Amino acid sequence: MSRILATATAVPSNRVTQAQAREIAARIYRGRPELERLLPVFERTGVETRHLVHPPDFYEQGRTFDERNASFADKGAELAEQAVRDCLGKAKLPADKIDHLFLTTTTGLATPSVDALLAHRLGMRSDVKRSPLFGLGCAGGVAALARAGEYVRAFPKQRALLVSLETCSLVFSTKAMTDTDLVGAALFGDGAFAAIVGGDEVAPAGPRIVFTRSHLFPGSEGLMGWKFTSDGMRLVLSREVPGFVRDQLKPAVERFLMEYALTRSKIRHFLLHPGGPAVLEAYRDAFGFDELTLDPIRVSMARHGNLSSAAVPFLLHDLLASGRARPGDKALLVALGPGFAAEMALVGW
């Protein structure tokens, strides 16, 4: 068995409202009617506020990819460290009690990877195992939770720390040219999540990571991802994603549950990736969810925007902090990412 000992989140101190974000975009895109006409999308995302690793004027100054990516390693490591120190404090554990560090990110590149920077900053043991995970996109946080749970099941005397770090704002470039670039600027925010997972012999209590599943959908490679350019990463996000979710996700989820003799009626909490209003509508249509089920997802989206790999982990943290989960409850975590892929995990109390 693997159990979650503690979770923590961190967001940068620079908080912007969606109205402020639209004003910034309007200044950047002034004189470009093909993009100015899309500015109303800022009001249709369901996002109300976001947190950014830099003050807003940083993003108006035409930063190069070199500058933005260097900031990912610097500011990103600071943000991740904040979440990890909070998590270690809640678990009452020193950093040298962590045996394996998993880090997932998709919004910056660093070698040494950010997990190595964290290990040094936190004073982890020199023999700590590290697994940096890149390219899983929005599915990365649930995937990291699953991999950490699998690791401590194999090594029940050990503890794993997982970190989901996303500085989505640093992907933005004033040279962005497409509709999708602007949609990304309206949706994504910055944040970090940390969790400590322990095996049976070191974690006698806490929510259990019961079952996990990865599902790769054939022939869907072009739906989501990054296009790598000399000016950095450009968002790839097909208009077909909501329809694909509506048609293809439900069978994959039901097969996952059926394998363990479960049905959706046995699940009390649904923690689903908040990819935007159209994706939330697709969940509702496919699964028949009522608005009460989707409310926590909408609230997180309004407060933070889409946090990529950290989005579903933030929902998990909110659920744990709220006290809404009771003994016997189960939560289904589903995150979607490039591939096109779904990462699923069942957590039980």
Q: pLDDT tens-digit profile of 258-313?
A: 888 888 888 999 999 987 888 888 888 888 888 888 889 999 999 999 999 999 99
Distance CA 140, CA 335 (A): 8
Distance CA 17, CA 49 (A): 4
Whether the per-residue pLDDT at 196 is higher than 90: the answer is: yes
Query: 150 and 54 in one domain?
Result: yes
pLDDT in tens, 318-345: 999 998 999 999 999 999 888 888 899 9
Query: 230 and 144 in one domain?
Result: no
Average pLDDT over residues 148-173: 94
User: Distance from CA of residue 215 to its chain's centroid?
Assistant: 17
Q: Which residues span the domain enclosing 88?
A: 2-199
Q: Report percent pLDDT > 70 for the chain.
A: 100
Q: To 10 degrees, the CA torsion angle through 163, 169, 173, 179?
A: 100
168 annotated active-site:
no
**Strand, helix or coil at 133?**
strand
Query: 226 and 191 in one domain?
Result: no
Confidence class for position 38, pLDDT limits 50, 70, 90: confident
Query: 177 and 51 in one domain?
Result: yes
Token pair of 310 as six digits? 């950290």
Q: For 145, left (φ over 0), alpha (ψ -120 to 50), or beta?
A: alpha
* Active-site choice (117, 138, 320, 346): 138
Instruction: With residue 228 as reference, give the H or E element that holds it.
Output: strand 224-229
Q: Which of 199, 233, 265 is the last residue of a domain?
A: 199
Confidence class for position 161, pLDDT limits 50, 70, 90: very high
The structural domain count of the chain equals 2
pLDDT at 118: 94
Distance CA 105, CA 281 (A): 27
Instruction: With residue 192 as reference, give the H or E element that holds it.
Output: strand 190-199
CA pseudo-torsion sign 52, 56, 58, 62:
positive
Query: 213 and 97 in one domain?
Result: no
Query: 240 and 313 in one domain?
Result: yes
Count of Cβ atoms closer than 10 Å to residue 166 Cβ: 32
pLDDT at 116: 95
Confidence class for position 20, pLDDT limits 50, 70, 90: very high
pLDDT at 320: 95
Distance CA 292, CA 315 (A): 15
Q: Which of 141, 173, 199 is the last residue of a domain?
A: 199
Tokens 């309004």 correspond to 302
Compute the radius of gyration of the chain from its Cα atoms. Answer: 19
Query: 313 and 264 in one domain?
Result: yes
pLDDT in tens, 109-158: 899 999 999 999 999 999 999 999 998 889 999 999 999 999 999 999 99
Whether the CB-CB separation of 309 and 138 falls below 8 Å is answered with yes
Length reported for the chain: 349
Query: 306 and 172 in one domain?
Result: no
Q: Which of 199, 234, 261 is the last residue of a domain?
A: 199
Query: 84 and 104 in one domain?
Result: yes
Query: 14 and 43 in one domain?
Result: yes
- DSSP-derived letter for residue 217 is P
Whether the CB-CB separation of 241 and 279 falls below 8 Å is answered with yes
Query: 212 and 138 in one domain?
Result: no
Whether the per-residue pLDDT at 49 is higher than 80: the answer is: yes
Instruction: With residue 207 as reference, give the H or E element that holds it.
Output: none
pLDDT in tens, 224-265: 778 888 888 887 777 777 788 778 888 889 889 988 888 888
Query: 216 and 78 in one domain?
Result: no
| CATH label of the domain that carries residue 212 | 3.40.47.10
